[in-house]
Amino acid sequence: MDLGEPLGERATLVQFSTAFCQPCRATRRVLAEVAGMVPGVRHVEIDAESRLDLVRAHDVMRTPTVFVLDKDGTIVKKASGQPRKADVIAALALAVDSRSQQSDGM
C-alpha cells in the first residue's frame, strides 16, 4: 500500500478517519498507544476525504477502518469500526511475525 508516508520498520498501523468521526478519536489513541509499545511500529492516520484514491483502491466503506501492514507494506489485517486494544496487538503480532500471510478480518 503506497501511503505517501514512510512505513514502520517492522509494521504499520494505518487508520482511515474523517473529521467528524467520533470513534476515530478513540481509535487514534489505541493505535498510537500500541505503536508506542512495540519498537519499529508506526501509526499513520489518513484523512479519508482527502485520499479518495486509497479509499477506493482498498474498499474503505466507513471510518474508522484500520489496516495492519507488515514491514513490506503488505496488508495482513483489515477491520472497520473501533478496534479493541487486544485485537490490535494480536493483529500486529501477525504482521511482525508474518512471512507472507494475508487475511481479511481482525
Beta strands in 40-104 (DSSP E): 41-47, 65-70, 75-80
Q: Could you tell me if residue 53 is inside a domain?
A: yes
Using CA atoms, how far apart are residues 17 and 9, in angstroms rounded to an integer?
23
pLDDT digits (tens, 9 = 90+) for 10-48: 999 999 999 999 999 999 999 999 999 999 999 999 999
Using CA atoms, how far apart are residues 7 and 61, in angstroms rounded to an integer?
23
Q: With bands split at pLDDT 50, 70 and 90, how would you rate the model's confidence at 98? A: low
pLDDT at residue number 3: 87
Give the CATH number of the domain where residue 68 resides: 3.40.30.10
Q: Are 12 and 32 in contact (CB under 8 A)?
A: no
CA atoms within 13 A on the CB side of 22: 0
Q: Could you tell me if residue 106 is inside a domain?
A: no
Q: Could you tell me if residue 5 is inside a domain?
A: no
Q: With bands split at pLDDT 50, 70 and 90, how would you rate the model's confidence at 4? A: confident
What is the span of the domain harbouring residue 86? 11-97
Q: Could you tell me if residue 19 is inside a domain?
A: yes
Q: Could you tell me if residue 40 is inside a domain?
A: yes
Q: Could you tell me if residue 3 is inside a domain?
A: no
Using CA atoms, how far apart are residues 48 and 94, in angstroms rounded to an integer?
25
pLDDT at residue number 106: 54
Q: Could you tell me if residue 60 is inside a domain?
A: yes
Q: Say which DSSP state 40 is in.
A: T
* Burial label, 38 (beta-carbon count in 10 A; 0-12, 13-18, 19+): middle
Number of domains in the chain: 1
pLDDT digits (tens, 9 = 90+) for 45-67: 999 999 999 999 999 999 999 99
Q: Could you tell me if residue 102 is inside a domain?
A: no
